[in-house]
Structure 1
């Protein structure tokens, strides 16, 4: 699969819509102008999924609840979701962009890894450059006219963000390693077991007890992963271990992020979820550089020479970096607008779409036993997410 200009244009359009580049709270349903207007002189214009520029609108009432101000749209107060006939088209757009971005990220990431040498290539360099692409885009949003308001954080705030950023970098890099060492579908199946890691850490490290019902769901998740691994044609212990490391980092990041956001005043100083993710990405990129130098520093010359002679490397690195940054912000907007059960269904559906879709595109194995194990594992994840709600309703 080639990374075409259309694919790159799509991620910019998705990012523009998700990030609210006009600085105010705008609804996707307000798009009324033609695609031709997107070519007007203004450097930064928000567009919908069809490439149409969004119309301007006033900011929300200044007396709106302060908690609603923490939105991805540059810190402006979030307006009520635009609906037509009871359908929230804005939410549907975020779902579509989240899924599309995650799908294309996995494909372009794997293509970049393969073009750079596969299992013997440069996974740490590629994962770091992907964060670097996201960091550059985040900085661009701060300096571009009418894009995103800069955060007003202190040096102490940055220090407090280091644990979250380091875990974010670790989870991303380990995931890229896992996908480089084995099939994307296999890495996704193992990553679906993240709740098991989160449960152990929450219970024994952060002192947050997990219900018995949740513990009973974990054997289903782990059993599904084991069953899916039995018939994995591209099985590698390195892929399994890397995916487990990614799960550990992701679980720690979730707990550390909650501690961070409980810090008095930091939400106001950040200004938006978009700023929080931008700073996390920038710090994660900076912290990844020493690991690149330590692991692949002696071969960086070979990597850049290969990138010059093989355009598929740098094209897919740039594309995967943009997709990664874009789909994460779209996911944030989606999860902020839905409840816990909807989030669980959305994450489950996303995992299934990515596993099957990427496997078909990249020609990875879809053995019936692997699909059965995948289904059991993902069902276990979904059940784990909603079991407490189901048990509470029965009481």
Structure 2
């Protein structure tokens, strides 16, 4: 029992380290096993095994028996009889857990940093830029650290092509932080759930990619739910509503631009991994955010530095939110890469519900029945929008 528990823990740790860009885990285990078997073949034991008649058993028989035993216990499988799939994918479970946990703690630490820095009259653009800076430093660290992550081999032309995606990524993140600073986190999340409506309009009329009629029919449900959830918030959260809508616009453009970018010949190979792609995007987004910070809050940057010196809650939650933001986004990418479209939709919907309810309880935000009804309708509409085409196709 202790051995089984230890193996399970090692599997989760290996998956977790992979999610945050670290190599190792299962590869090292396989390497060690291969080395051990090789050593056994070259240096047989001085005391050889014998059968019940006292005859010595050859090493090839022993090795076959060992191979069979490994196959039974979930190790290497023979060509004649493929190994059965494990009932649980511990790596995928770890990705889901880290994605949800990271998103949850990001929203909490982000809101705490915003409140400590002055709330509605504080420094949302400065905080969002520095969060990207924390992620950029972490991404660069993974390239420099030994055996952490292979460096990309992209060209200057690749970087230029990535600028539109990075700019939209920066815009979506900054507008989201601004929305959370102006109103409740739960309200900003509800409005951000309507992103498919913005994406549908852009895909149809700007990028020339038509959306099915079934998807169009789902959009009134999404928009209606957002309006209903906004009824109790409109007296103080107009700025949050507008900022969240701007974030949706940036996110929708980013999605379409990213699809175009990934069609560039050889770009995926030069990037090397999804983690490298996200790290490069984060670094570029941070650099692009600096001029925006200078224009909007540059004259008050000295005030922000003094406030951060006297209020540890600002820089502590700033660093924490930056790391959580980078980590959960990479875990989300790894999770969605291992699952199908329907699973992605359900996972995104479940994540948003958990964040809305959990953060509201922790931060003492309003959970008015009408607000929650609108939230349920809007997020349910998003889920339906995501899977409606597959449902219609089956019929």
Change in CA separation of 1:303 and 1:15 when aligned onto 2, cut-off 3 Å = farther
Structure having the higher helix fraction is 2
Distance in 1, matches of 2:302 and 2:276, equals: 34
RMSD: 1.9
Match of 1:131 in 2: 132
Superposed counterparts of 1:52-91, under 5 Å: 56-58=29-31, 85-91=86-92
- Aligned residue for 2:259, secondary structure, equals helix
Q: Does 1:246 align with 2:247?
A: yes
- Aligned residue for 1:292, secondary structure, equals helix
229-238 or 299-308, which moves further after superposition?
Answer: 229-238
Match of 2:219 in 1: 218
The answer as to whether partners of 1:15 and 1:326 remain within 8 angstroms in 2 is no
The answer as to whether partners of 1:233 and 1:365 remain within 8 angstroms in 2 is no
Match of 1:193 in 2: 194
Distance in 2, matches of 1:192 and 1:251, equals: 12
Change in CA separation of 1:158 and 1:391 when aligned onto 2, cut-off 3 Å = same
Superposed counterparts of 1:168-207, under 5 Å: 168-207=169-208
For residue 83 of structure 1, report the CA deviation from its aligned partner: 9.1
Distance in 2, matches of 1:182 and 1:370, equals: 14
Distance in 2, matches of 1:222 and 1:383, equals: 13
Q: Does 1:329 align with 2:330?
A: yes
Deviations 1:330-349 (A, max 9, x none): 00010000000000000000
Match of 1:34 in 2: none
Query: Which structure has the larger Rg?
Result: 2
Change in CA separation of 1:187 and 1:178 when aligned onto 2, cut-off 3 Å = same
The answer as to whether partners of 1:202 and 1:208 remain within 8 angstroms in 2 is yes
Distance in 2, matches of 1:163 and 1:57, equals: 41
Match of 1:387 in 2: 388
Superposed counterparts of 1:130-169, under 5 Å: 130-169=131-170
Match of 2:270 in 1: 269
Unpaired runs of 5+ residues, structure 2, are: 1-12, 33-82
Distance in 1, matches of 2:244 and 2:387, equals: 24
Change in CA separation of 1:131 and 1:13 when aligned onto 2, cut-off 3 Å = farther
Match of 1:48 in 2: none
Distance in 1, matches of 2:122 and 2:16, equals: 30
Change in CA separation of 1:186 and 1:14 when aligned onto 2, cut-off 3 Å = farther
Distance in 2, matches of 1:326 and 1:372, equals: 31
Distance in 2, matches of 1:131 and 1:230, equals: 33
Deviations 1:256-288 (A, max 9, x none): 001001100000000000000000000000000
Distance in 2, matches of 1:275 and 1:16, equals: 15
Match of 2:97 in 1: 96
The answer as to whether partners of 2:15 and 2:94 remain within 8 angstroms in 1 is no
- Aligned residue for 2:91, secondary structure, equals helix
Q: How many residues align?
A: 333
For residue 15 of structure 1, report the CA deviation from its aligned partner: 6.6
Match of 1:72 in 2: none
- Aligned residue for 2:148, secondary structure, equals coil
The answer as to whether partners of 2:92 and 2:338 remain within 8 angstroms in 1 is yes
Distance in 1, matches of 2:84 and 2:204, equals: 41
Change in CA separation of 1:191 and 1:97 when aligned onto 2, cut-off 3 Å = same
Match of 2:290 in 1: 289
Distance in 1, matches of 2:390 and 2:369, equals: 32
Match of 1:78 in 2: none
Match of 2:56 in 1: none
For residue 115 of structure 1, report the CA deviation from its aligned partner: 0.1
For residue 198 of structure 1, report the CA deviation from its aligned partner: 0.2
For residue 313 of structure 1, report the CA deviation from its aligned partner: 0.1
Q: Does 1:302 align with 2:326?
A: no
Match of 2:209 in 1: 208
For residue 21 of structure 1, report the CA deviation from its aligned partner: 1.4
Unpaired runs of 5+ residues, structure 1, are: 1-11, 31-54, 60-81
233-242 or 373-382, which moves further after superposition?
Answer: 233-242
Task: Give the TM-score, by structure 2 length.
Answer: 0.82
The answer as to whether partners of 1:167 and 1:249 remain within 8 angstroms in 2 is yes
Distance in 2, matches of 1:174 and 1:383, equals: 26
Distance in 1, matches of 2:251 and 2:282, equals: 14
Match of 1:346 in 2: 347
The answer as to whether partners of 1:182 and 1:234 remain within 8 angstroms in 2 is no
Moved over 6 A (4+): 12-15
